[in-house]
Copies of this chain bind each other. A is one copy, B any other.
């Protein structure tokens, strides 16, 4: 049986890494009591809280945290008509936080995620591991059988080309979950009691050309390198699906990372995922996605971007055209999604004018 850590203070570092260069983005509909457990790890950082649902509700944030909070009214005010690209009543709204951040790095975490313990019983500083992952290169062009070659005690094995040992810049670090695994509704229904208790002590690069199911629960990325591709799509209120927000972002991101020569890592760190969502509700949200992903994934597997797509924005606009052309036939939803992808990029560029320096946040909103 795995249990969350209770002593997190002992595991704190004295000097937090990237303190002024990273924002923590949290989508929520409730008071953020879960932050108490993360306090030793998160308190030095700035939080961007994206409040979903009723904007008149007051979300309590524990004392001592440096944060800004946006509700739906804020999103509508800041983006105007372009706010249509930000989902409502779905944690997909978190991507608004990516857009308003001015930092180089984003860590996003769900409010039902707690601090996990490693096999020695020590509280895992998930953020610190993500930062390690993202600051060291990736190896997307050839597989290293001893996993991350840049990790202490590891290296490239015999037969690994020397020309590839500098690696590629890491754009994404995808962390995993102990306790409740990230299963779809059918698997939740079939295996209601399954818990993930296996701590796999590895970080690895997902090879170029390979897609993966990216979960938004415990995710870090380099905004400068890949931010505009981290759009979580149209989900929830008024949309025919939910729970594909992070998947959509993952497929788009991976195709663009592959095109631009950027790396995506998965593995450590683990968080402790406390609560399984309701599988019946999930099935309702997911069932169209379960059909559609059978066409979406071959689409992304076959997608190629022209050479003149040299920025994430250009790649993303090109991808939106291909979505419209190829997936529009699957369902009119994808026409709407393709338009929203364009709106997202317009809104991103409006809030992040080219050449604007990444500013250090001034504290609470």
Q: Which of A283-297 contact B (CB under 8 A)?
A: 286, 290, 293-294, 297
Q: Which residues of B contact A147 (CB under 8 A)?
A: 200
The majority secondary structure among interface residues of chain A is: loop
Binds B, one of A47-55, A154-162, A223-231: A154-162
Determine if A22 is an interface residue (Cβ-Cβ < 8 Å): no
A157 engages B215 (CB within 8 Å):
yes
Q: Which residues of B contact A199 (CB under 8 A)?
A: 201
A294 engages B161 (CB within 8 Å):
yes
A294 engages B145 (CB within 8 Å):
no
B143 engages A158 (CB within 8 Å):
no
A198 engages B290 (CB within 8 Å):
no
A210 engages B207 (CB within 8 Å):
yes
Determine if A70 is an interface residue (Cβ-Cβ < 8 Å): no
Q: Which of A167-205 contact B (CB under 8 A)?
A: 174, 176, 181-184, 186-187, 191, 194-202, 204
B157 engages A183 (CB within 8 Å):
yes
Instruction: Compute how far the CA of A161 lies from the CA of B196 in the bound complex, rounded to whole angstroms.
Output: 20
Q: Which bracket fits the contact residues of A?
A: 35 or more
Determine if A121 is an interface residue (Cβ-Cβ < 8 Å): no
Q: Which residues of B contact A240 (CB under 8 A)?
A: none
Determine if A280 is an interface residue (Cβ-Cβ < 8 Å): no
Closest residue to A149 on the B side, CB-wise?
Answer: B187
A146 engages B181 (CB within 8 Å):
yes
Binds B, one of A3-11, A91-99, A104-112, A243-251: A243-251
What are the 9 closest A-B residue pairs judged by CB atoms, nearest first? Answer: A159-B213, A143-B212, A207-B210, A159-B247, A158-B184, A200-B202, A209-B209, A157-B182, A158-B182
Residues of A participating in the B interface, judged by any CB pair closer than 8 Å = 119, 142-147, 153-163, 174, 176, 181-184, 186-187, 191, 194-202, 204, 206-215, 243-244, 246-247, 250, 266, 286, 290, 293-294, 297
